[in-house]
A and B are shown apart, each in its own frame.
Chain A
Amino acid sequence: MAYVTLNSHYSKTALTRMGMPRWLLIAAVAICATQSFLPNFMIRLPESWIPPSAQILDYFFNEIVINTLHFNELTRWFAEGPLDFMLGFTANLLEGKHRWPFLDDPLPWSAIAAVATVLGYYLGGWRMALLGGGTFVWTALMGQWKITMQTLSVLAVAAPLGFLIGLVAGIVAWKWKWFDNAIKPVLAVMQTLPFYTYLLPAVIFFKVGPTAGAIATTIYATPPMILMTTVGLKKVSPEIVEAGKMSGCTRWQMLTRVFIPSARSEILVGVNQVIMLCLAMVVLTAFIGMPGLGGKLLAMMNSFKLGRSLEIGITIVLIAIMLDQMSKAWVVKLPAHFEKGTPWHIRNKYLLFAIGAFILFLVSAQFIDILNEVGRRQSLSIGREIDGAIKGFLNIDIVKSITGFLRYVLNVWILVPFRDFLLWIPVSAFLLLVVAFAWSVGGRRPAAYAAVFFTLVAFSGWWDRSIITLYSVLAAVFISMLVGIPLGIYASRSEKWAKRTLLVCDTAQTFPSFIYLLPAIMLFGITDTTVVLSIVIFTTVPLARYTIEGLRNVPSELTEAADMSGATRWQKLVKVQLPVALPTMAVGFNQAIMFAFFMVIIAAFIGTQDLGQELQRTLAGTDLGKNFVLGINVSLMALTFDLAIISWANKRKEALGL
């Protein structure tokens, strides 16, 4: 009952707000209908109106940042000094690179696998132990040990760096409001900027190689750490703060003994995010010198070795799931408290056990070669067999006729007409439509942002390509809603299925998207269908995940009330569960759009005509300015949706009292 009154109250405010968007919509339709009579500048901005933003940016980068401020000397010093030293240190230990401390042999794989097993057991029992040890055993047996360690040696620097920067920036943002306000938009842009835009600056400022790879990874992975730290610190309850003050803590002690331990859970969620985002960059950073798995994967794909690409993909997924599960277990695991007088070796028994296992394997590897290194000839890689299986599958007649049909229907009847329709809409009408959308969904503020952002896009001179980018995003998100939401609803009905589906989601999310691009091309050709469907694989994940989470977190009083009033399963779902879960699902929807903007740029590897293709072209000419303009366009479009949807979800949550 409570819910119903809330809802009617909500829809009343929504109604009064509907006025303006409706007028905008009518105006947009009017412009579309009369476009043949309208002056040209309302349809597409004339060339002469486009400011030379790329040239201005080029001048800014070359003349001011590099030639006047010599900013590159500072970054270069950092890259070649401390950063290179740290990367050299981990690389020497893990893969034997010729750097300090100049150990001749890298650590044997068996010793690392043993430590991971003990750590896994400590954090989550036998299952986690199996996951930890198993991942490393798989890596060694597949003959991928060296490249995996090359990757991990960079991540072992990039992730802690991201953690540290994120923690400090998060604390500063929590202490000083102005910093918080200043950093929020920067973080938002950073998170939506396509990776191509990081590439050239990272190379120019931080030297191609592991250094640029580490920096690009850190930049990409840090934002959620900052946000989670601030969130955690803000939530610390006043009672705890009082207790700290009463026991006479100094300010430093307050921070390190009171605030940070109390915000432990949020900070660790941030750590988990940092790790996962680092892994997401493993393949992309291979373009700027990140060694290891990513580079190998690209080389395998370019010589059309599907099987071995797949094996590398599995390694990346295993590492991601292992680190994810372990860091999540660490969040849940509360610090153990021992009685006074417990001997040291009991308090630290896992540590001792890990050291013991490490030494045992370190020593035995000196005598038993296979424990030290699995050679390529000994490895169990079955790349060729997988190649055959994939090609065989793609050649089954039914598969071919289904995909041929899908390709035809989607391309000729749906996608291409939809794209042409979006391109047919005059710029002025498109602006009104976007503003109307943002207004009706999020309210006045998001509408204002939408107006500014899309006007900037129009004045960037890349309107058509921006619209084609947007078209792929919208088409993909729409299709993934058709798949993801029903999937989520179905999976949320039982604990068991929810868990299984979430596992599939995790896997799909960390699986390097490059790998499924190739089979997708083989199935659907180099067409819009391939582009859209490969985005769909990625965007269905958040939709399914948040639908499950939203539905499973519906307060049980509400569902029980529905049961008691004799609602059918369908009624319960439509009238009670879905409306309450909607704000959470909106977060998933928003994430799906963000993922789509990320993935659409990667889809340039298939072959597109959007901003991604143009970004790819800038690599040849090293046009920093143009590169940045294109990247910002993606960012602006993504942020327009982000602001509108998040604003809607927050209002709705408030209205529902969640």
Chain B
Amino acid sequence: MKTKMILSAAALALASATSTSAMEDSSDPIVIPIHNWSSQIVMSHVVGQILESLGNNVEFVTTDSQAVYESVRLGDVALELEVWEGAFGASFREALSKGGLHDAGDHNAVTREDWWYPMWTKDACPGLPSWEALNDCAHLFATAETGDEGLFLDGPVDWLKHGKERAEALGLNYVVKNAGSAAALWAHIGAAEADKTPVLVFNWTPNFAEAVWPGEFVEFPAWEDGCDTDPSKGPNPNALHDCGNPATGYLKKAAWDGMPEKWPHAYEMLTKISFTNAQIAEMAKLVDIDEMEPEEAAEVWLEENQDVWKTWLPEGSS
């Protein structure tokens, strides 16, 4: 409640400040898409509440995180706050080539997505995190169905990962299976937790799972540009995908092409927005660990981080 009051006071101050500028934001609602993971939901509410404090009309809509780029392109939603290089890069680039949306700048966060294991796995296979230890430990990751080979549980197919290709390129003695959803990955880890069974799954950071199950990424041969297109890159001269994923992937914002014209102030702020890994983890924690509702978590975050978000406000409004 308190935050709301601060915000509305800010809004009053803003109303007088912004009325002098030439262009006004349209009163049509700015539609912000929300997906099904906590940090993105809270971040969307944080940005939404700031926009509301600037006098904008904001609406949220739940969508699929891949199909959303088509909606940004069509202008049905105005922006997207979390474009992960690894998971959504392909959909984003495809929409970019069709036209209608553009890159609205990077967050000050790095993302990493790769083969990962919870800490207890290391007790059984002390050679980790080096990938070269994987073959010797393959039997630890075997299941009833995989025989002698280990099981690596990759992300859903629509994230367009190349686990299978990598296992082949590096001669890993592993069966690569695709989970159907992020939830399926968590269930797999959750089932292994009680007995401390070693598991190898696809995971990423920043992510709530880090707080629930401490763990590490497997260190594969470092990413080189072209590892996915040029066989000569990476340790295996005859294969693609023989490197780890980039350890410092981007986290972008995307905006509809019509946004700068329709909501110039909101757009200006969007380009300035930049969250760090720590802030994203904090937002996820408020919901996942402290069990707040996303709206509530956003209020708390805004209250505690005023010095961060106030610098994003458009010129002449702070």
Contact = CB atoms under 8 A, between A and B. Distances in A.
B177 A526 contact: yes
A605 B182 CA distance: 9
Chain B interface, >50% SS class: mixed
Interface in B64-122: 64, 66-71, 74, 76-77, 90-91, 94-95
B48 interface: no
Given A208-B63, A208-B76, A620-B91, A200 B36 contact: no
Interface size bucket, A side? 35 or more
Interface string A93-108: 0000110000000000
Contact of A384 (B29, B31, B193, B291): B291
Contacts of A608: 180
Interface string B202-238: 0000001100100000000000000000000000000
Contact of A303 (B33, B34, B76, B287): B287
A288 B90 contact: no
A619 B87 CA distance: 12
A290 B184 contact: no
A482 B164 CA distance: 37
Contact of B36 (A209, A295, A518, A614): A295
Contact of A302 (B36, B59, B60, B191): B36
Given A303-B37, A619-B67, A619-B158, A412 B145 contact: yes
Nearest to A390: B190
A522 B99 CA distance: 43
Contact of A605 (B91, B184, B293): B184
Interface in A270-316: 286-291, 294-295, 298-299, 301-305
A525 B194 CA distance: 14
A299 B291 CA distance: 13
Given A604-B180, A608-B180, A288 B64 contact: yes
B296 A616 contact: no
Given A208-B71, A622-B94, A518 B183 contact: yes
A255 interface: no
B34 A199 contact: no
B76 A411 contact: no
Contact of A607 (B143, B180, B212): B180
Given A522-B191, A622-B94, 9 more contacts: A199-B67, A391-B190, A394-B191, A416-B145, A526-B184, A606-B179, A620-B94, A622-B69, A622-B95
Give 3 closest A-B pairs by Cβ, nearest first: A295-B62, A521-B187, A304-B186
Interface of B: 29, 31, 33-38, 41, 57, 59-64, 66-71, 74, 76-77, 90-91, 94-95, 143-145, 153, 156-160, 177-184, 186-188, 190-191, 193-195, 208-209, 212, 287-288, 291-293, 296
Interface of A: 97-98, 199-200, 203-204, 207-210, 286-291, 294-295, 298-299, 301-305, 376, 383-384, 391, 394-395, 404, 407-408, 411-412, 416, 517-519, 521-523, 525-527, 603-608, 613-614, 616-617, 619-622
